[in-house]
Amino acid sequence: MTTENEISERSEKNPVMKLLRATACFALAAQLMATPLALGSDSDAETKAATGGGAAAASDLVLKTMQTELARATAGLAKSDPAPYFLSYTVYDQNVTILAGAYGSLLTDTAVQRRHADVTMRVGSAALDNTHGQARASGMSSGSLPFGEDQDAIAHVLWELTDREYKRAAPTFLNVKTNTAVRAEEEDKSPDFSKETPVQHTGEALTVPAFDKTGWEGEIRRLSGEFRKYPDVYFASVVLQVQSANQRMVNSEGTAITSPSNSTRLVMEAQTRAEDGMDLLRVETFQAPSAAGLPSEKELSAKIEKMALDLNALRKAPVAEPYDGPALLSGRAAAVFFHEVLGHRLEGHRQKDEDEGQTFTKKVGQEVLPKFLSVTDDPTLQEVGGMKLAGTYGYDSEGVPARRVEVIKDGVLKSFLMSRMPIKGFEQSNGHGRNQPGLMPTGRQGNLIVTSTQSVSEKDLRQKLIDEVKKQNKPYGLYFDDIQGGFTLTTRSLPQAFQVLPVIVYKVYPDGRPDELVRGVDIVGTPLAALTRIMATGDQQHVFNGVCGAESGSVPVSAVAPAMLFSEMEVQKRAHEHERPPLLPAPGFEDKTLKADTGRSSSSGAEVKQ
């Protein structure tokens, strides 16, 4: 659902989402080309980092050219005034095959090869440099780099980007010094950059898994053709992205990292429209290191049938009314809830920026969640319950080894997700500096994991929901089964609010009536209030994989959580357009529509005669 602007085209119609592009996370087909490269998926990064390089590094002419040009630039610019104290080059190689199908045919069958370079420069000193405060973007210049191993061509582009970046960073630093001198003293006087141990990890060679392109073209046709059975599915697509990538980083501190990676993602999306004009969406996303790790065609066909049945039911479902009362979130919905409500507010740079709400900045050592809940972020974790995690990486975008961080233990806040931007009390990175190419890294989530010591079976959790509905004398409770994403507002200039966008929502009645499907509802609220209302959790972990957009761009993320019971949750009606469904029936369904219309006319006439 995320485009390169982080927010989906469909969500642009929401006026609140137009106010802020800071943090939004979704899982749909359009995210594919926007997904950035990760610095590898090696879960044993620190061990391999200690072993140093190898034969692959010696034969990597691109890396050698980067190192040579870096040394030349570092020595030459040291004579400048002001002089850089830090310089890094990052080169991203990406080979992507994309197959997109709709209604039994291929829409896209293409292979893309690209190479991109980021030049990061810091002028001044670690205590105060050109990236200070709102000038952070001045730290990077980016551009396309030549393919192949033409050392002269690669060196020439790196030289040009380095010159451009210095001419941008140096005057910015002088402005920063002036502004710092005349503005009021900042509350957090931490340095702008942390000192980290250089890493040497250049021994890996990129290996590309076998990919049966012809076979998958046929499967994409067949899978997308399944949607032709359903006349009320107005748009549907099946998109496969197979990617082999290599990321190289060198910096003036001595770090040299080569991180090859492979990933495959399959996204099936279907959409319909209710009679009142509300667009309704269902998405299923699967990922694995290679195409061989994806579900079988039979399993995917079953998912398509379920998606179509869900959409048909949603078209007929009533629109939900605003509500405040007991609610139960499935594990997948709870995972997104924690990513949005809590995770973004634990990212390190948000504690330092005085334009941020700083919800948890001064709550270290205090209880911020019920005591039975703990939260970690572990980018080194590769899968949960057999499901691959999207937020896995071996090194962050600043060359720091990924680490498991215990952010909340037994309800008490312990730490933040840190890049190389220090904050008061947390001077070092913990391997969470992330970005998409072309943007400066900030502290970001990877794999956010919520665990509980107060869990019950999901069947018992449902009964607890009914008991709480009765206790509060509410007419019903809500059960959120699936979601499409969410977003959160973290700046002081806007309300400290979040919005989670459910897809499948049921009213659960305390008198034993069957659950009732409803549509057009969003979960809303503020974090400090919402997080205190968790009563109990289920006993099974569930995974949400998606792409998250924030200041440093779009990055792949995962969130893992059990189902959660809330004593109180607020929902609002979802804004939507009022465009009518298609005026003509879908191709191939004209006769069925005519017969249905004729039957209605006959019945009506009989009633008149009576």
What are the boundaries of each domain within the chain?
40-316, 323-573
pTM, full prediction: 0.87
Per residue in 534-559, pLDDT (tens digit) is 999 999 999 999 889 889 999 999 99
Please tell me whether residue 433 adopts helix, strand or coil conformation. Answer: strand
CATH architecture of 40-316: 2-Layer Sandwich (3.30)
CA distances from 285 to 31, 32, 262, 584 (A): 11, 11, 17, 31
Among the listed residues 560, 447, 444, the one whose alpha carbon sits nearest the alpha carbon of residue 43:
447
**pLDDT at res. 520:** 93
Please compute, for residue 405, the number of CA atoms within 13 A of its CA located in the half-sphere on the CB side.
30
Per residue in 372-384, pLDDT (tens digit) is 999 999 999 999 9
CA–CA separation, 502 and 521 (whole Å): 7
E-state strands within 18-78:
23-26
Other beta carbons less than 10 A from residue 316's beta carbon: 11
CA–CA separation, 410 and 370 (whole Å): 7
Give the mean model confidence (pLDDT) for residues 200-215.
89
Please tell me whether residue 168 adopts helix, strand or coil conformation. Answer: helix
Give the mean model confidence (pLDDT) for residues 27-33.
40
Least reliable range by pLDDT among 44-58, 285-299, 327-341, 419-433: 44-58
> Are 80 and 242 contacting, i.e. CB atoms less than 8 angstroms apart?
no
Per residue in 298-325, pLDDT (tens digit) is 999 999 999 999 999 999 999 999 999 9
CA–CA separation, 468 and 472 (whole Å): 6
Give the mean model confidence (pLDDT) for residues 459-485.
94
- Assess whether pLDDT exceeds 70 at residue 609: no
- Assess whether pLDDT exceeds 80 at residue 29: no
